[in-house]
Amino acid sequence: MSQNLILKKNISIQASIAKVWNGLIDPEVIKIYLYGTQTISDWKEGSSILFTGAWEGKEYKDHGTILKLEKEKTFRYSYWSNFQAFRTSPKIILSLLSN
């Protein structure tokens, strides 16, 4: 059975767009909110993005591809995780930043 699950969420963050954008692409900041996750990418469209670390004592290596990257506007990437129920299906994350 095919499932097309979509989640849309809007949030308001009391920070400048530049600061929020930095939080999405700076590996040192990502490490803070993703529990020590190491993030590796050259931050270019078409490039890979790799997330590695440990969760509850289990090592993980999640990965994806940067699909669209417009500075301080759009960051879209595919995301494959060992923890997903459907390991053969990519998850797409879209972050849109606007004033």
**pLDDT value for 88:** 55
Reported pTM: 0.79
* Predicted confidence band of residue 44 (pLDDT cuts 50, 70, 90): very high
Q: Tell me what pLDDT residue 47 has.
A: 98
pLDDT of residue 93: 62
pLDDT at 92 over 90: no
Percent of the chain with pLDDT over 70: 78
The domains located in the chain, with CATH, are: 17-96 (3.30.530.20)
DSSP assignments along 8-46, one per residue: ------SS-HHHHHHHHH-HHHHHHHTTT-EEEE---TT
Which pLDDT value is given to residue 86? 53
The per-residue pLDDT for range 46-85, each reduced to its tens digit, is 999 999 999 889 899 999 999 999 998 888 888 888 766 5
Whether the CB-CB separation of 52 and 60 falls below 8 Å is answered with yes
Task: Assess contact for 47 and 68: CB atoms under 8 A.
Answer: no
